[in-house]
Amino acid sequence: MDLYTWISPVVPIAYLSTASLAFYVLLNLPQHLRSTCFPIFVMPAWRAFATFKYFTWPASLDGIWGLAVLIWMANIISLLYIDKITVQSNTRKQWDIKAAYKLLFDVRHLDKFRPTFSTPEKPICGRPLIVFAATQLFRLFVYWQATVHLFTPIIPLLFGPVEPWEFDQYAQIYFRRLPLFEASEPVTLRETYIRIVFTFRWIWLSFVDVDAAHTFLSIIFVGVLGLDSPEEWPSMFGSPLEAYTLRRYWGRFWHRLVHKPYLSIAKLLASKLHIGSLGPRSEKTFLALLVFLISGVAHAMVSLQRGKPTEAIDDMAFYCINFLVIAIEGMALYLLRPIRRLLPRWLCRTTGYIWVLTFWFWAAPKWSYPEVHGEMLREIERKNRAQGLGIFGSLLSGK
C-alpha cells in the first residue's frame, strides 16, 4: 500500500474526533442551548460520514465506517435531544471527560458499565488484559485466514471459473424459474449449488465485517489505550442456534447496535403521529417497521455516497421485505400454535432453521448479486483495457 492509503483515513477520523469534542460540549450545556449549538456537532459528524471513501483497505471498511457513523449520530441525537440526558446526574459530574467518553460510544447502552463516583475504581489486573488481547488477536487471525483462504475464493474453488451472467438480474430469480412453473430457462443444478454456497458465504462475510471491526477496536481501547475494561466490550452477536425464526435471527443472533438509537427515534415519530392511540400491538408493529425503515435509509445513504443509486433502492427494499416477512412469519406462528404444541421441540426448531436458511437463500442473492455482477464486469473491463494497452505498446515498440 502507498503512503496515501495509509494517511487518507486520518481525514474521517479527524472529523469524528471533532464531532466527539462537540458532543462533550453539548452534553454539558443546558437543553435550550443544545439545540442552538447543534450544528457544531452535526457538521463534523456528517463530514466523518461523507469522507468514508478515504478508507481504501480493507475493501469493506468504508461501508462499515459509514454505517457506524450514522448509527453513532443517531445515538448522540437520542441522548441529547430525545432522552435529554441531564447536564449532571448521580453518576456523572459536569465536565467529567471520562464519564462523557463512556456515554460517547455506548451505542448499546450498557448501563451497568457506566461510571459511578460512590465506589472507587478498581485497578485492572494485567493478566486478564493479556488474555483478552491474545484472545481477540487470535479471533482476528481466524477471521482473516477463513475469509482470505476459504470464503472469498470458495465459489471458484468449488465450481471453477464463473461468468458474469451467472450473477445477472435473471440469476436473481430462483423460485419462479423452478420446473414447476415451466419457465423458459429453468434453474440448473450448478446454479442451485452456487446459490447455496453464496448464501453461506454472504452470511459469513456480513458477520465478519462487523465482528472483526468490533474485535479490532476492543484491542485498541482495552489492550492499547487502557480506556475500557474487557467487560465493556461484550460479544456483538448472539448464538446462531437462537436464529430459528427470522425475527429471532435479527433479535437474538444479529448485533443490536441499532436497536436503542433507532428505537428512540421511532418512538418519537410514533408519539408525534399518535400511533399509541391505535393500541399496543399496532404501536409495536409500527415501531418495528420504523426501525427496519431507518436501517434501510442508513444503508441507502451509504450506497448513495458511493454513487450507486440502484443499490440504494435495493437496500430500502431489502429491509422493508424483512419487516414484511417477519410480520407474516408472526401471524403464521400464531395460527400454527396449536399444532406446534403437539410437535417435539427439536422438530419445530429444525423446521425453523430450514425456513430461515430458505429465506436467505432467496433474499441474499437478490441483494448481493447485482454488486457481484457489476464487479465482475469491471474486472473484465480492466483486463481488456490492460491487454489492449499491452498490444498497443507492443505495436509502438515494433514488436
Burial of 45 (0-12, 13-18, 19+ CB in 10 A): buried
Predicted pLDDT of residue 343: 93
Q: Note the pLDDT of residue 249.
A: 96
Contact criterion met (CB below 8 Å) for 266 and 82: no
Query: Is the model's pLDDT at 118 over the cut of 60?
Result: no
Q: What is the DSSP letter of 226?
A: -
Q: The C-alpha cell of 374 is what?
A: 457489476
Higher pLDDT, 383 or 66: 66
- Residues of the chain with pLDDT > 90, as a percent, come to 66
Give the span between the Cα atoms of 315 and 297, in whole angstroms. Answer: 8
**Per-residue model confidence as pLDDT tens digits over 264-303:** 999 999 999 999 888 989 999 999 999 999 999 999 999 9
Is the Cα dihedral 75, 15, 210, 219 positive or negative? negative
Residue 245 has pLDDT above 60, yes or no: yes
Q: What gap in Å lies between CA 307 and CA 285, rounded to an integer?
A: 33
Range list of H helices, 219-344: 246-248, 259-272, 280-305, 309-335, 337-342
Distance CA 299, CA 301 (A): 5
Give the pLDDT confidence of 174-203 residue by residue, as tens digits: 999 998 887 788 899 999 999 999 999 999
Position 386 confidence tier, pLDDT thresholds 50, 70, 90: confident
- Taking the CA of residue 348 as centre, how many other CA atoms within 13 Å lie in the half-sphere pointing to its CB? 13
The grid coordinates listed for 109 are 447502552
pLDDT at 95 over 60: yes
Strand, helix or coil for residue 240: helix
Block residue for cell numbers 435495493: 314
Which cell numbers hold the place of 26?
Answer: 453539548
pLDDT tens sequence across 250-261:
999 999 889 999
- Cell 495509509 belongs to 6
Question: DSSP H helical segments within the chain, as ranges?
Answer: 3-7, 10-27, 31-36, 39-50, 61-77, 97-104, 126-146, 154-159, 189-218, 246-248, 259-272, 280-305, 309-335, 337-342, 345-396
Report whether pLDDT(114) > 50.
Answer: no
Residue 184: its pLDDT value, please? 82
CA distance 121 to 58: 38
- 40 contacts: CB under 8 Å, gap ≥ 6: 22, 25, 26
> Residues with Cβ < 8 Å from 229, sequence gap 6 or more?
113, 124, 222
Position 116 confidence tier, pLDDT thresholds 50, 70, 90: very low
The answer to whether 353 and 245 have CB atoms below 8 angstroms apart is: no
The model's pTM: 0.87
For residue 21, give the amino acid letter: L
Percent of the chain surpassing pLDDT 70: 92
Task: Please work out, in degrees rounded to the nearest 5, the angle formed at the alpha carbon of residue 229 by the alpha carbons of 227 and 232.
Answer: 105
Q: What are the tens digits of pLDDT across the range 2-49?
A: 566 678 889 999 999 999 999 999 999 999 999 999 999 999 999 999
* Residues 386-396, mean pLDDT to the nearest whole number: 67
What average pLDDT does range 338-353 have in this prediction?
94
